């Protein structure tokens, strides 16, 4: 029986909290920040929880069945 492998990008992208929820960083925060307003940059700070519509897919990539 082959080993079950975790998706390599998923393990770098998502973090699992102590209560089992999955967090992610917001997009559009890496570069080209000079054209974005300060309000927009602040709103892109921090991390958010994975939406319920994507939860099944992300859990499968992280082998959290």
What is the reported pLDDT for 10? 96
What is the C-alpha R_g of the chain?
Answer: 15
Integer angstrom CA distances of residue 23 from 1, 32, 33? 31, 24, 23
Global confidence as pTM = 0.81
Pairing, β 47-49 against β 15-16: unpaired
**If the chain, 65 residues long, is cut into consecutive pieces of 10 residues, what is the mean pLDDT of each piece?**
92 96 96 97 96 96 90
Cα 61 from Cα 16, distance rounded (Å): 13
What is the reported pLDDT for 1? 87
């Amino acid at each position: 029986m082959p080993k079950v492998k975790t998706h390599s990008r998923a393990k770098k992208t998502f973090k699992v909290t102590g209560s089992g929820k999955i967090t992610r960083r917001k997009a559009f925060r890496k570069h080209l920040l000079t054209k974005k307003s300060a309000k927009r940059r602040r709103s892109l700070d921090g991390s958010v929880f994975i939406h319920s519509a994507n939860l099944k897919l992300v859990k499968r990539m992280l082998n959290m069945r």
